Structure formats: structure tokens, C-alpha cells
Chains A and B, each alone.
Chain A
């Protein structure tokens, strides 16, 4: 069967392999582009958030490429993302397509449905549960490796001597990773990628500013949605660390790690209630970043994102109490690269001067 899925950062390489190894034809939608956005915006509710619109566009482009089934994740609210699937399906039907949207909700919400969905995928692909377990291990390695490479690239970029070289090498890494299929190959390619990135000529004398990126998961991870903010910052000579990577999210939601607890604990004096999405983490991580000596925090959020609006309302107070500058950027289909760049430059200038002042203060 021709199966497709949403694009979210570099994870598509892993999902593509997953579907192929289960015996399906993976339809990788085109990377999100202006066309995706236009298509998505045209068929989405006006006040849906930008992830909804990009996904809508991506689905329609996948359907153009012949997708018969689209797989996505669900949720239990109160963030709207948990209801995306239902509305996407309705809109797709409304447009006259027969493509189905298959939603994987948390296994806790419906064990039967979860297993039923998996069973359907395995049966139509003529694979067994045994294959799934084998494939799952490889996919997991791949996701981890992709995240590791990406994080390394973000660490190296602020030091690069030749602007843009890191991004170029990183793209090459992704292509190499696409070829690796077994666990041994993935480990080997990862090693090669690390070496490739480490070989980039660097200026060790630079002292990059450190910025923490917090906010909604999709716009943090998908470079098209955030106008590639991490690469932009990196090329301005700023090191940025974002709050979430897909592999972390996976271990967190399946209960294998509990890294979020520290942030939730930190947020407690300001926000003592889970508000869905990543709202509480935005508050908590900002506090933690301040404690860990970051120079500033950027909050990324889709326009009209409910949890992040609550977080923003609280972050002004956090910013004052912890003396850490916070820049909130709401992203929508109108956000332009130039506008974003200007705001980032101004913010980085401010942080730079603050650090300068602090250093001088320490001397005199």
C-alpha cells in the first residue's frame, strides 16, 4: 500500500525506512515549501495553528503523489493537536479524496485501537510482529543517530570558519543516513558523519552566546516552520539548544526517561497545572536555562497556540525574576525570513551587550 506521513525535521528518514521494511511503499511528501503552506492555508480553518496548516498541505501533496493512507500521531488534549486527525480526515473527505488518515493515539487511551492499527499495517504489508520488532530496533537507532548528528551540527556551527559549511556537511550526512538500513550500517554511518562534522575547520577563540529555545514541539523541530532558526543563529555565531528532539520526546512519552520532571518542578511556583502542549515546559526550561548560565531564551510558538500564550503571559514575570531576556516569536503563514532575521539580530545584539557589561563589571 502507498503510505505517507507528516514531515517533522529529519525524522522522515526513519519513518520512510520503517514503512519500507514493513512492506509498504513509502510516499515521502515533498519537503514543506511555500506551495505546501498555500495549499494548507487554503483548506484549513483560519485560526488553526501553523502545524495544522503545514500538515494539511503536506497531506494534500502526499495525496497528489498517490498516498492511500496517511499515518500521524494523536493526543489526549487539551492542546488542539490531539484533534488534528479528525479534522484533517473530514477536510480530505470534503475535497473528495478517499485517502484515510490513521491516527496513533497513546496506547493508554485505547489499547485495542493501537494494536488494531498496527495489525492493519502489518497485514497489508504482509509482515509479521517479529519483523516489526526487528525493524523497530533499527528505526530507533536511526532516530537517535539523526538527533545526535543534528545536535553536533548545532554545536559546531557557531565556530565554523567558512559560513554555511556545516549546513552543507549536515545535508551530506542526511543523505548518507538515508542509505543505512541495518543497525550495523547505521552505527557505521553515524561514526562517519561525526567525523565529517568534526573535520570542519573551526575558530576556537570564539565565545558564542548561548540561547535556549523553548516552545511548541512542531515549530521547534521543523526548520521550515521556524525558518531554520537554529542554523540562522548558528551562522550569526550563536550556540542554540532547543528543548526537544523527537527521540527525547519518544522516550519521554513512553516513560523511559523523566527529564521533563525537572522543568515541571522548576515551573511550579509560576504554573502549577499541566496545560497541554509544551506550555509548562516553556516556563520551566526558561528557569533552568537561566540557572545554567544561558544568555537568553527564545520562545517559539504557532500563532494562536493556546498553551504557549499562557506560557508567554507567565514568562514576562519569570524573565524579570530570573533576569534572563526572553524573545517570543509567534509563527504563522505570514512570517517572513527577513523580519525574523532582523528580530534575531536585535536580540543577539542585546544579549551581546549585556554579556559585555557583565564581564566589564566583573573586572572593575
Chain B
């Protein structure tokens, strides 16, 4: 039998939200899907070398992951994320829109790239049409594409549900992709501090980038709450609090998450994790700060990450913030 074609998927950016879908889709069609290893100093350095120097950390990381992956695969799957739903003018950050072009023009020796446009705001059955087009590029046609699409959709739904139940992305992925039974979660004692950790999935769930933020929080007895833990329906319902929707999908998610944790599930404080020089976040961060103040002066901290972020610096800031919250609570 012929060796299965290897399709590469970088383990960053969209990986944390959309990987299970594509993993299931490609495997059902008989391809082997290969991801880059989790972020390391090596992938970061590669990215810094390859990417345009004014780019932000996530974009550099993406370049790094692609560079690490390119020689191990036959095809790179770098979807061009344009929109995932119909909502005003919602799209993704312009850097995402031009990402496949940036990659092509800055990295040498790339394998074939599939950069199909993910533009689900346009027309009906956009998801299905997208899958059909991707399969077409791989020379697969017919009913099995439909089956693969249906299965991938179920896997994706399961994954999102797993995240909403509070499983970490790797655990939820395991459950969704392999169909394993979810490990029982030990009933956690009521923590002293509940903290909303809001930001984009590629910063929140990449523990190299955020220098192990979640482990540190666990050590301090803090329970973190993320955007993905919000029941999707409740998250949707926050939409009416906007004056005008932001233009970027992840930013709208973060902002909705902020409203949710300010209104419905009260937390002791909000931490916004952002990347140095992030364009959309310049707006989002200010909005979050102002809203946190307007909704009962909820303490707010911005953690800005870049390629020089050190563990000590982040730890000190988080510790100080948590100490402040504990003090505040004791004072009542």
C-alpha cells in the first residue's frame, strides 16, 4: 500500500480551537496528520529569525512552527482564517488574513501549501463547501468526504463541550479524538480566589509562551476561569452589551468573556493575557479595563508577553496581584 500523505498542522494559533476538527477530517480520509512539537525555545528562535521583525509574538511563533514542520511533511495545511460566523463585519486580525502570504514570502524551501480560505460568513453550507474544496485539493472526492465532514463536526462539538466542562485542551482533545471516556474530575475544594484569565487561546493554552501561568496559579490556590469554560450559549448572550462589535473573532470572544465574568459568574479579579504589540488588544485591553471599572471596580491586571518574557517577571506580578486580592477579600 502506498504511504499515506503527511499533512502538517502547526501547533499554535488556531490549533487550540480547531485542530480536532481537521485531525478527524484528514484521518478519516486516510491521511496522516503531523503537528509540530509543543512550543520550545527552539521554535521561538526559528520564528524570530524567519518572521518580519515588527510582527507580534504569536505570528513569530507560527513562523517558527511552520519552519520546524516543513521538512517533515508533504503538505502544509495553513488555512486562511477569514471568518467563522456571520456577525457584522467580524473577521480575524489582518495578520491572520495575510498569514499564508507572509509565510510564503519569508520562509524558503516550503512544501506544498493548502491555504484554503475559511470564510464561513458567506453563503449556505459554507463549512461543507470548505471541506469539499480542501478534499479536492488532495484529490479525494465523493461520499466519504461527506462522511469525514460529519464525523469531524461531531468530534469538534465534543471537543468544545469538553473545554466548556473545564478540561484542558490536551485532555479534551484526547476525549474528542480517540473517543476515550473522560477522566473523572476530582471535586475541587472551593478555592480562595477565582480569577478570570482572559485572552487569545494561543497565549492562554501555550504554557511555554505564558511561562506556566496555570501551574503557578494552581500552586497559589487560585482557580483560573477561561473564555472556553463559559457555556457557549451564555457566551453568545453577552453580545448585546457591545456598542459596536469588534472586528476580530477572538477579540469578540475575549470581550464577551469579560462581560460574562463581570455579570454572571462573579470572579475576584480579571487577568488579561496579551502579546506585546498586539494590534487588536490595544483596543480590547482598554475596553476591558474601563468595563472592569464600570462593573463594580473589579481588579484588573494586564500581562503582556513577548519573546523575552521571563518566568520571574510574570510570577512576581501574578503573586502581587493575588496577594492584593486576598487582602481585599479579608477586608471585605
Q: Does B228 contact A (CB under 8 A)?
A: no
Chain A residues with CB under 8 Å of chain B are: 45-49, 52, 76-80, 82-83, 86-87, 90-91, 94, 109, 270-277, 279, 303-307, 309-314, 316-317, 330
Assembled-state Cα–Cα distance A14/B243 (Å): 30
Give the shortest distance, in Å, between B244 (CB) and chain A (any CB).
5
Q: Which of B27-35, B154-162, B277-285 contacts A (4 or more CB under 8 A)?
A: B277-285
Known contacts A80-B280, A273-B101; is A310 also within 8 Å of B290 by CB? no
Chain B, interface residues (CB within 8 Å), range: 35 or more
Give the shortest distance, in Å, between A335 (CB) and chain B (any CB).
14
Residues of B within 8 A of A49 (CB): 279, 282
Known contacts A77-B89, A78-B91, A276-B97; is A48 also within 8 Å of B54 by CB? no
CB < 8 Å neighbour of B94 from A78, A303, A316: A78
Residues of B within 8 A of A279 (CB): 94, 98
Can you give 12 contacting A-B residue pairs, CB < 8 Å? Answer: A47-B281, A48-B282, A79-B247, A80-B282, A275-B97, A304-B282, A309-B55, A310-B101, A313-B52, A313-B101, A313-B105, A313-B106
CB < 8 Å neighbour of A90 from B92, B246, B290: B290
Assembled-state Cα–Cα distance A301/B62 (Å): 23
In the complex, chain B residues 274-306 whose Cβ is within 8 Å of any chain A Cβ: 276-283, 285-287, 290
Closest A residue to B119 by CB, please name it: A273
Assembled-state Cα–Cα distance A142/B55 (Å): 40
CB < 8 Å neighbour of B287 from A77, A79, A87, A316: A87
Residues of B within 8 A of A307 (CB): 94, 98
CB < 8 Å neighbour of B244 from A48, A83, A275, A330: A83
Known contacts A45-B286, A90-B290; is A80 also within 8 Å of B106 by CB? no
Give the shortest distance, in Å, between B164 (CB) and chain A (any CB).
27
Closest B residue to A48 by CB, please name it: B282
Per-position binary interface string of chain B over residues 42-64, scored 1 when its CB falls under 8 Å from any chain A CB and 0 otherwise = 00000000011011000000000
Q: Does B102 contact A (CB under 8 A)?
A: yes
Query: Would B283 and A87 count as touching, CB distance under 8 A?
Result: yes
Query: Would A90 and B287 count as touching, CB distance under 8 A?
Result: yes
Give the shortest distance, in Å, between A271 (CB) and chain B (any CB).
5
Assembled-state Cα–Cα distance A273/B101 (Å): 9
Known contacts A78-B91, A87-B286; is A306 also within 8 Å of B279 by CB? yes
Residues of A within 8 A of B283 (CB): 45, 48, 80, 83, 87
Chain B residues with CB under 8 Å of chain A are: 51-52, 54-55, 80, 82, 89, 91-95, 97-99, 101-102, 105-106, 117, 243-244, 246-248, 276-283, 285-287, 290
Assembled-state Cα–Cα distance A291/B331 (Å): 70
Residues of A within 8 A of B243 (CB): 86
Known contacts A279-B98, A313-B52, A314-B102; is A78 also within 8 Å of B286 by CB? no
CB < 8 Å neighbour of B247 from A78, A304, A310: A78
Assembled-state Cα–Cα distance A187/B283 (Å): 43
Assembled-state Cα–Cα distance A259/B276 (Å): 36
Assembled-state Cα–Cα distance A236/B324 (Å): 58
Assembled-state Cα–Cα distance A272/B102 (Å): 11
CB < 8 Å neighbour of A45 from B52, B91, B246, B285: B285
Residues of B within 8 A of A275 (CB): 94, 97-98
Assembled-state Cα–Cα distance A273/B99 (Å): 10
Query: Would B279 and A317 count as touching, CB distance under 8 A?
Result: no
CB < 8 Å neighbour of A270 from B94, B101, B276, B285: B101
Closest A residue to B249 by CB, please name it: A78
Query: Would B52 and A86 count as touching, CB distance under 8 A?
Result: no
Closest A residue to B290 by CB, please name it: A90
Give the shortest distance, in Å, between B284 (CB) and chain A (any CB).
9
Give the shortest distance, in Å, between B274 (CB) and chain A (any CB).
9
Known: A47-B277, A77-B248. 18 other contacts (CB 8 A): A78-B248, A80-B283, A82-B247, A83-B244, A83-B283, A86-B244, A90-B286, A94-B290, A270-B101, A270-B105, A271-B101, A304-B277, A310-B95, A311-B98, A312-B54, A313-B98, A314-B98, A316-B106
Query: Would A306 and B102 count as touching, CB distance under 8 A?
Result: no
Residues of A within 8 A of B82 (CB): 273
Assembled-state Cα–Cα distance A146/B214 (Å): 58
Assembled-state Cα–Cα distance A76/B281 (Å): 17
Which of A49, A310, A317 lies at the interface centre, i.e. has the most chain B CB atoms within 10 A of its CB?
A310
Residues of B within 8 A of A109 (CB): 89
Closest A residue to B282 by CB, please name it: A47
